[in-house]
Amino acid sequence: MNGIYRNIQASIKNGEKLLAVLIDPDKFQIERVEEFISKVNTSVATHIFVGGSIVEEDITQVLVSEIKKNTNLPIVLFPGDVTQITNKADALLFLSLISGRNPEYLIGKHVEAISKLRKTNLEVIPTGYLLIENGKETAVEKVTGTKPIPRERIQEIIDTAKAGELLGMKLIYLEAGSGAKVPVTNQIISLVKQELEIPLIVGGGIRNNEQLKNAYNSGADLVVIGTAFEEDELFFEEIKKNKESRIKMIE
């Protein structure tokens, strides 16, 4: 599958909102793939993201192969580490943790990844990744040894996102952290969006349709949801694919 970034741009141009279901290989049992992905397929989800902060080596590859057998949706790697890169997926968010100041997550891991990437056909999408404080410590914070940007430092968040764009990143991802108590605020989303020419991803702590709509209405182009699906697959019922729900989602 090619042109995933181009398709994201085209959807935005057509006024469509995108939704990625995030599967963390560390928390997901491979036996559940068929049933889980059939629900993803009948929902309004447009992408499947795969990745996590702490994942045992090699399990991502097996999981992605299994997911691929069950869906035509694009599978995008959202890796916490180089070990999660696999050719079985379609694209890779080449994440640079620009909210932090740990050189490993700004450039170190990227250099390490190149010998692996040379052997793949993955579409590589440079992504500026910003961790925003949400009231509790997140896995990203622990693993990367970086601090999130406090949610009240709005200008710093905006300037960081803009700096990412000017450095040539193709996407900006505002992350509250998996299982965040509260998602990134509408105000932050909307002010960051106003500054950017590139698509905006928002994720972390979005658990219901109302929060999803709020994120879209504030300016998120693509929303990522993981925990809400892991904890309650009934959430898929709320976002079933039909004309009405798609319209409702983007109202």
Gap between the Cα atoms of 45 and 246, Å rounded = 10
Given 81, 90, 175, 221, the residue binding ligand 1GP (CB under 6 A) = 175
In whole angstroms, how far apart are CA 123 and each of 4, 118, 196?
8, 11, 22
Distance of CA 44 to the CA centre of its chain: 16
What's the half-sphere exposure (Cβ side, CA atoms, 13 Å) at 54? 7
Point out the residue whose Cβ comes nearest to ligand 1GP: 203
Strand 200-203 versus strand 222-225 pairing type: parallel
H-only helix segments in 152-225: 154-166, 186-195, 209-218
Q: How far is the CB of 205 from ligand 1GP (least distance, A)?
A: 5
Please select the residue that binds ligand 1GP; options are 179, 191, 238, 248, rule is CB under 6 A. 179
Decide if residue 188 touches ligand 1GP (CB under 6 A): no
Q: How far is the CB of 25 from ligand 1GP (least distance, A)?
A: 13
- By beta-carbon proximity to ligand 1GP, the closer residue of 43 and 178 is 178
25 binds ligand 1GP (CB under 6 A): no
Residues in the chain: 251
| 205: contact with ligand 1GP by CB under 6 A | yes
The residue within the footprint of ligand 1GP, chosen from 18, 45, 171, 224 (CB under 6 A), is 224
Which two three-digit tokens encode residue 227? 């925990």
CB of 119 to ligand 1GP, least distance (A): 26
Chain positions contacting ligand 1GP, by CB under 6 A: 22, 175, 178-180, 203-206, 224-228
